[in-house]
Structure 1
Amino acid sequence: MTSTRFRDNARYWRTPLLPGADLLTAEYHDHEFTPHWHDAYTIPVIEAGAETYRYQGSHYVAEAGSVPVINPGEVHTGSRAIDEGWRYRVLYAPVDFIHALAEDVAGRAQALPWFDADVIRDPDLAVRLARAHRLLESNDDPLAAETAMLDALSTLLVRYGRTRADIPPPTAADTRVATMKEQLTGDLAAPLKLVELADAVGLSPFHAARLFTRATGLPPHAWRNQIRLQRSLAPLRAGALVADVAAASGFTDQSHFTRHFRRMFGVPPGRWQSS
């Protein structure tokens, strides 16, 4: 019996039932996500096939029926784990929404929810998340869709939400990394040399690059490109021309922007915008 090979096909969309969230319905075979992060909680449910990804220093495989949650701001990758590829549904849930829901469920103030790195293998949760995602996508019954969404996300929080470990006081290295981030995000369209970044924190270019990469999981140029891509979403959503967004974001041209955008989001910016 021949297995079905998935094709690279993705659709991003939004719903007024969850303002600020992006949702994705996709299948992939050849596409590989380069190291990147999202500002939201990434909550996928694998419907078929299997995905492999690197996250928090380890490799994981998420097969059909699993829920590989990624915390906001955490660098990760993504590619097929088996020859067929994988199909999944993803909810990129805003941090403030998940935090407010956690407090609503608990009935009191809560720390920001955090999830362990391990793949969640909970068939009941997977069914709830997939059903909510389908109802939100069809938009046939908003009442049923919103109820299913709150049920699925509250179940995720109750069963697997954790409190992030106490963050130690900032060190000199942390301060230097923060200073370099400020330099990198100050004017995204302005050229910046590694020696300028290093001079700002009193280190050699070699040591500055090594410190930054160790702290963030990405070298300075790659981290800056991620910021550029994240900030490009708002003007794209507002209807700005892709070429104008590329120039304003600091990419050399539209093709350069498109190439990086597709590596992170799985679709070119024009297609993301139209969906």
Structure 2
Amino acid sequence: MTRSTFRDSARYWRSPLLPGAELLTAEYHDHEFTAHWHDAYTVPVIEEGAECYRYSGAHHVADAGSVPVINPGELHTGARAVDEGWRYRVMYVPVDYLHALANGIADRPQPLPWFDAEVIRDLDLARRLSRAHRLMEAHAAHGLTATPADPLTAEDALIDALSTLLTRHGRTRATPLAAAPHEPRVDVMKALLAADLTAPLRVADLAQAIGLSPFHATRLFTHATGLPPHAWRTQLRLQRALAPLRAGVAVADVAAAQGFTDQSHFTRHFRRMFGVPPGRWQMA
């Protein structure tokens, strides 16, 4: 029996049970996520089909029942790995929330949790994450009066699922290597790119600031970050757009404030990163 093809359909939503988080219920076929990062822990559970993605210098395939966690700030892509596409549920868990949970489990301060780059294949964990996501979605949709959306049940499931993720698969980040001689120059370029996102910049400006040719400055930046300067700046603009969108600022105003040439330019890049236009994301 041939499985039907998934369509491109995504719904972002939020829950008071996981403050500051975005949650996603989606299926994709044609959509491909451009290289991007999130400031939160990305905790997906693949329910059907399979997704492939580039992460941490390697190509990965996450099939049904797997949990392909992405650490905060880490560059990754996303696309279908099988003909029919994939369907999944995702929690974008704030760093502070998961760190506090790790501290509570250990009953003492812990380093920030970190997860190996390999796809987690743990069917029991996948079931717990899926159940927690569904219960929170029911709570968000139906409110406190609906029995299936009981907030205590949903929050218990959330804590159980994320605690299981931490205790079975959580690590701490390896001690970074000694700073390479070029890293301060990359930091200088990042600071220039981030200082005023509406200000026009040329590669020559970055190069002059660190005493390199435009070619060598671009190569240095791309090697260090995984993105050329213009693409890195676009990702930063998108990340900084999220807070005003959550606050209800008009999409056109957010686009202008973050340095996009117009709303359509902003929408095109936002859709490539989040799978939906900014207006729909904001409606969550």
- TM-score bracket for this pair, using the shorter chain length: over 0.9
Deviation at 1:109, TM superposition (A): 1.5
Aligned mates of 1:182, 1:89 — CA distance in 2: 35
**What amino acid is aligned across from residue 124 of structure 1 in structure 2?**
D
**What amino acid is aligned across from residue 91 of structure 1 in structure 2?**
M
Aligned to 2:105: 105
Aligned mates of 1:157, 1:236 — CA distance in 2: 31
Deviation at 1:168, TM superposition (A): 2.6
Secondary structure, aligned partner of 1:10: strand
Q: How do 1:189-204 and structure 2 match up within 5 A?
A: 189-204=198-213
Q: How do 1:41-60 and structure 2 match up within 5 A?
A: 41-60=41-60
Aligned to 2:14: 14
Aligned mates of 1:243, 1:109 — CA distance in 2: 43
User: Where has structure 1 moved over 3 Å in runs of 4 or more?
Assistant: none
**Aligned residues: percent identity?**
73
Within the alignment, does 1:222 sit opposite 2:231 as a pair? yes
Within the alignment, does 1:251 sit opposite 2:264 as a pair? no
Deviation at 1:171, TM superposition (A): 3.1
Further displaced range: 168-177 or 127-136 = 168-177
Aligned mates of 1:141, 1:12 — CA distance in 2: 21
Within the alignment, does 1:142 sit opposite 2:145 as a pair? no
Secondary structure, aligned partner of 2:25: strand
Q: How do 1:1-275 and structure 2 match up within 5 A?
A: 1-139=1-139, 140-275=149-284
Report the TM-score when normalising by structure 1.
0.99
Secondary structure, aligned partner of 1:6: coil
Deviation at 1:202, TM superposition (A): 1.2
Secondary structure, aligned partner of 1:39: coil
Give the paired residue count.
275
Secondary structure, aligned partner of 1:60: strand
Aligned mates of 1:3, 1:170 — CA distance in 2: 50
**What amino acid is aligned across from residue 180 of structure 1 in structure 2?**
M
Deviation at 1:172, TM superposition (A): 2.7
Aligned mates of 1:23, 1:17 — CA distance in 2: 11
- Alpha-carbon RMSD across the aligned residues, in angstroms, is 0.8
Aligned mates of 1:141, 1:233 — CA distance in 2: 29
Deviation at 1:170, TM superposition (A): 2.6
* Long gaps (5+) in structure 2: 140-148
Secondary structure, aligned partner of 2:121: coil
Secondary structure, aligned partner of 1:70: coil
Deviation at 1:211, TM superposition (A): 0.9
Aligned mates of 2:209, 2:129 — CA distance in 1: 46
Aligned to 2:146: none
Q: State the Cα deviation string for residues 133-163 of structure 1 (Å, max 9, x = none).
A: 0001100111001100000001000001111
Q: State the Cα deviation string for residues 228-258 of structure 1 (Å, max 9, x = none).
A: 0011111111111111111111111111110
Deviation at 1:194, TM superposition (A): 0.3
**What amino acid is aligned across from residue 99 of structure 1 in structure 2?**
H
Aligned mates of 1:207, 1:40 — CA distance in 2: 32
Deviation at 1:179, TM superposition (A): 0.8
**What amino acid is aligned across from residue 237 of structure 2 in structure 1?**
R
**What amino acid is aligned across from residue 103 of structure 1 in structure 2?**
N
Deviation at 1:174, TM superposition (A): 1.1
Q: State the Cα deviation string for residues 203-238 of structure 1 (Å, max 9, x = none).
A: 111111111111111110000000000111111111
Aligned mates of 2:169, 2:210 — CA distance in 1: 39
Deviation at 1:175, TM superposition (A): 0.6
Secondary structure, aligned partner of 1:52: strand
Report the TM-score when normalising by structure 2.
0.95
Secondary structure, aligned partner of 1:210: helix
**What amino acid is aligned across from residue 199 of structure 2 in structure 1?**
A
**What amino acid is aligned across from residue 23 of structure 1 in structure 2?**
L
